[in-house]
């Protein structure tokens, strides 16, 4: 089971990510390295609070969550003045008058808003999931669909919004349903790329539950394409990640995709 799982979770790309252990999204920036690439996969549980390494083992269970939180509420408060100053500079640079009534407190509001849009950096999966995994003798597909998702494009800092559909085949362990939505929240409230977001959600569920299979489909509208650039109003981007039996068995995948359509 393990070798086949390894194949599923590693990507075809072997990218040199450098040291991405300390960045919030870095562990997926270059995707998971192949074991042959010289990185060591360790199965020993790491002590709590240890930093996650860039070559995180995909099936090491809970250890990969024991990553350091990258931002705290205190960090937020401390960086607020500097964020507000940056926004004031931006307002001036755009030709606006930051002293006019409508814009007086805008730098603070915009800074707080941006911190809210990236609050996924403050949260850890393990906090959200720890008590909501239940042993249940259920091995049929569970789908939670139409989860509204809001993210920020990491290339233009402009919103992305859409819907996430998650399906998984439990292997004696089921997850509280809202926790699926919370996983989506944690990963989407960051500077993201839709492909990476889809994969992160799928891998998080896999690591939490070790299910037989996970499927995640995201359908989103990118404001960077709608409001600027090519300006295509009705375009949508669809990405999907299929792991485990969803990848291997076309019938299962078919069932999942049909059920999320209806």
Of 9, 121, 187, 256, the one binding another protein by CB under 8 A: 121
Query: Is 155 noted as a catalytic residue in this protein?
Result: yes
Given the residues 13, 43, 51, 155, select the one marked as catalytic. 155
CB atoms within 10 A of CB 137: 7
Q: Is 214 helix (H, G, I), strand (E, B) or coil?
A: strand
Given the residues 6, 46, 156, 248, select the one marked as catalytic. 156
Query: CA of 112: how far to CAs of 82, 89, 119, 240, in Å?
Result: 12, 16, 10, 32
Our CB check for another protein shows the closer of 189 and 253 to be 189
Our CB check for another protein shows the closer of 20 and 240 to be 20
**Residue among 28, 124, 108, 29 at smallest CA distance from 76:** 108
| CA atoms of 207 and 133, how far apart (whole Å) | 12
By CB under 8 A, tell whether 25 contacts another protein.
Answer: yes
Residues 56-75 that bind another protein (CB under 8 A): 70-71, 75
By CB under 8 A, tell whether 14 contacts another protein.
Answer: no
Query: Is 165 noted as a catalytic residue in this protein?
Result: no
DSSP states of 21-76 = TTSTTGGGTS-PPPGGGTPPP--SPPPTTPPPPTT--TT-GGGGG-PPPS--HHHH
Name the segment binding another protein (CB under 8 A); options: 94-102, 123-131, 203-211, 250-258. 94-102
Of 13, 51, 77, 148, the one binding another protein by CB under 8 A: 148
Query: Is 231 noted as a catalytic residue in this protein?
Result: no
| CA atoms of 150 and 114, how far apart (whole Å) | 12
By CB under 8 A, tell whether 20 contacts another protein.
Answer: yes
Query: Is 153 noted as a catalytic residue in this protein?
Result: yes
Q: Compute the least distance from the CB of residue 178 to another protein, in Å.
A: 15
By CB under 8 A, tell whether 82 contacts another protein.
Answer: yes
Q: Compute the least distance from the CB of residue 215 to another protein, in Å.
A: 24
Of 13, 68, 77, 96, the one binding another protein by CB under 8 A: 96
Query: CA of 41: how far to CAs of 52, 57, 60, 136, 196, in Å?
Result: 12, 6, 9, 31, 22
Please return the burial class of 97, using the count of CB atoms within 10 Å of its CB with bins 0-12, 13-18 and 19+. exposed
Q: Compute the least distance from the CB of residue 60 to another protein, in Å.
A: 23
Residues 192-251 that bind another protein (CB under 8 A): 193, 223-224, 226-228, 233
Q: Which two tokens stand for residue 101?
A: 């009534």
Query: Is 222 noted as a catalytic residue in this protein?
Result: yes
Query: Is 154 noted as a catalytic residue in this protein?
Result: yes
Going across the sheet that includes 213-222, the strands are 191-192, 142-153, 159-169, 213-222, 237-244
User: Hunting for tokens 């569920």 — which residue is that?
Assistant: 205
By CB under 8 A, tell whether 133 contacts another protein.
Answer: no
Q: Which residues in this chain contact another protein in the complex, by CB under 8 A?
A: 20, 22-26, 29-30, 70-71, 75, 79, 82-83, 85-87, 89-91, 93-96, 102-103, 105-106, 109-110, 113-118, 121, 148, 150, 154-159, 161, 191, 193, 223-224, 226-228, 233
Residues belonging to the active site = 153-156, 194, 222, 224
């Amino acid at each position: 089971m393990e070798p086949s799982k390894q194949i599923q979770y590693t990507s075809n790309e072997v990218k040199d990510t450098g040291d991405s252990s300390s960045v919030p999204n870095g562990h997926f920036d270059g995707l998971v390295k192949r074991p042959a690439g010289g990185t060591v996969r360790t199965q020993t549980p790491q002590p709590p609070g240890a930093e996650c390494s860039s070559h995180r083992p995909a099936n090491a269970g809970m250890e990969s969550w024991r990553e350091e939180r990258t931002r705290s509420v205190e960090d937020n408060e401390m960086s607020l003045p500097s964020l507000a100053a940056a926004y004031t500079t931006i307002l001036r640079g755009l030709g606006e008058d930051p002293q006019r009534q409508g814009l007086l407190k805008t730098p603070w509001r915009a800074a707080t808003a941006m911190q809210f849009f990236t609050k996924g950096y403050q949260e850890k999966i393990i906090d959200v999931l720890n008590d909501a995994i239940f042993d249940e003798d259920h091995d049929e597909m569970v789908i939670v669909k139409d989860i509204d998702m809001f993210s920020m494009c990491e290339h233009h800092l402009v919103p992305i919004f859409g819907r996430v559909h998650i399906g998984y085949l439990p292997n004696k362990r089921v997850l509280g349903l809202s926790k699926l939505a919370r996983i989506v929240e944690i990963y989407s409230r960051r500077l993201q790329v839709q492909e990476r977001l889809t994969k992160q959600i799928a891998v998080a569920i896999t690591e939490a539950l070790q299910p037989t299979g996970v499927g995640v489909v995201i359908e989103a509208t990118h404001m960077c394409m709608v409001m600027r650039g090519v300006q295509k109003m009705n375009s949508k981007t669809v990405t999907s990640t299929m792991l485990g039996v969803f990848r291997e068995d076309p019938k299962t995948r078919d069932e999942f995709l049909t059920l999320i359509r209806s």
